[in-house]
Structure 1
Amino acid sequence: MKKNLSKQKVIHAASTLFFQKGFHGTSVRDIAEKAKVNVSSVSYYFNGKQGLLEYAVTAYYEEYLEKVEECLKVTENQSAIERLNKLIFTIIQYKQSKLQLTCFIQRELTLDSIFVREMTVTYLAKENYYIRSTFFSALEGKKLPGDQKDYLLLQLKGMLITPYILHNEWKDRVIGEYSREVFVKKYVATIQKWLKFIVGI
């Protein structure tokens, strides 16, 4: 139990520092000091900083996709628009609950690196499939010209990541657990208004 607690402390410290200083700007010593553990603990648990990054991001996406899949399973008998609305809520709620790691990951995804390519092949392709298929189901029967559905999907995906790419614009307004919950409700409601307009086309 103690080992698991120390491990979580290291992950939490690393998430904060990666968010604040970037991956390359953060040293193993920085992480150890913030987590109040020995430097050797980082190597013991994760085999260094790169291993820690991979572990944290893998755990993030596995939990995220598990929640997405659970949401889609629970809503399988609901209407396509209800499913989509609940999926959007699930996605924003999860990203907001792990704000610093989400912002760091979104920032890293703008770079072309081996890390990004690995994420794309494994997790992002799966995420894209779930969002795309749920969104297109909600648009079924709507007569839209050409590739407009693809452009609308692009807009939706943009709305799902914008708060975590432009985090500096929100940092003074979303402080503490309560304001995060308020943000989730209000932001999801805004996306849902957009969806209502789109589906009503």
Structure 2
Amino acid sequence: MRCFSKKGFSGTSVRDIADKASVNVSAISYHFKGKQGLLEYAITHYYEAYFVEIEKTLRKNEALSALDKLKELIFAIIQYKYQNHQFSYFIHRELSFDSIFVREIVVTYLAKENHLLSETFLEAMQGKYHVNKRHFLFMQLKGMLMTPFMFHSETQNQMIGSYSTENFVRHYTEVINEWLDFSVRELTVK
């Protein structure tokens, strides 16, 4: 993940990965059929664990109001992505470059994430706003969930050690929660 995160998929060689992992190049070829197979395995592992967290969070918070359930989901998403920050940075960077290979691998996962998040978001917005405004608000929310992983240097300056990471996640989600509260409370259907 460090190699992919630092150099991107195209800039990382199998030799780089083997050296960093202290393994033989042939071991990567044997177990993963090369760099592409290793990346597919890593992305699958990342997203499968991610969806376990999302679904666990949704089940655990079923009794909460729709808005509070959404807030808990947002916290779980940001926390998971920060716990796996190197790979989160890599995926978001590769998607911003419109890497066809990465996009092909993650398209199903992105659709599932979009479905779960939009379902929870629309439940929280419950009849508020015209459909176009809800769509724009949802785009803004998705942007806030991606932003820390698109601007690696800015977020890295905010964190030193796990205590700062925990604080960053808590403070960042508090700001999103304030935006949600404002959106639900102050804005009206037009």
TM-score tier (shorter): over 0.9
Q: For residue 147 of structure 1, give the secondary structure of its aligned residue in structure 2.
A: helix
Give the CA deviation at 1:30: 0.9
The percentage of aligned residue pairs carrying the same residue is: 49
Gap runs ≥5 in structure 2: none
Of 153, 166, 169, the match for 1:168 = 153
Instruction: Name the counterpart of 1:156.
Output: 141
Instruction: Name the counterpart of 1:71.
Output: 57
Instruction: Name the counterpart of 1:107.
Output: 93
TM-score (norm 1): 0.88
Structure 1 residue ranges (4+ consecutive) displaced by more than 6 angstroms after TM superposition: none
Instruction: Name the counterpart of 2:118.
Output: 132
- Correspondence 1:13-92 to 2 at 5 A: 15-92=1-78
* CA–CA separation in structure 1 for the residues paired with 2:7 and 2:127: 48
Code of the aligned partner of 1:75: N
TM-score (norm 2): 0.93
- Correspondence 1:114-129 to 2 at 5 A: 114-120=101-107, 122-129=108-115
User: Aligned pairs, how many?
Assistant: 185
Deviates more, 1:150-159 or 1:103-112: 103-112
Gap runs ≥5 in structure 1: 1-14
Give the CA deviation at 1:49: 0.4
Change (3 A) 1:171 1:150: same
Map Cα deviations across residues 56-111 of structure 1 (whole Å, 9 max, x no partner).
01110111011101111111121101100100000000000000100100111120
Map Cα deviations across residues 90-143 of structure 1 (whole Å, 9 max, x no partner).
0000000000100100111120514303421x111110011101011111132x
Give the CA deviation at 1:146: 4.9
* CA–CA separation in structure 2 for the residues paired with 1:94 and 1:78: 21
Give the CA deviation at 1:167: 1.2
Give the CA deviation at 1:199: 1.0
* CA–CA separation in structure 2 for the residues paired with 1:31 and 1:114: 18
* CA–CA separation in structure 2 for the residues paired with 1:155 and 1:59: 27
Structure having the higher helix fraction is 2
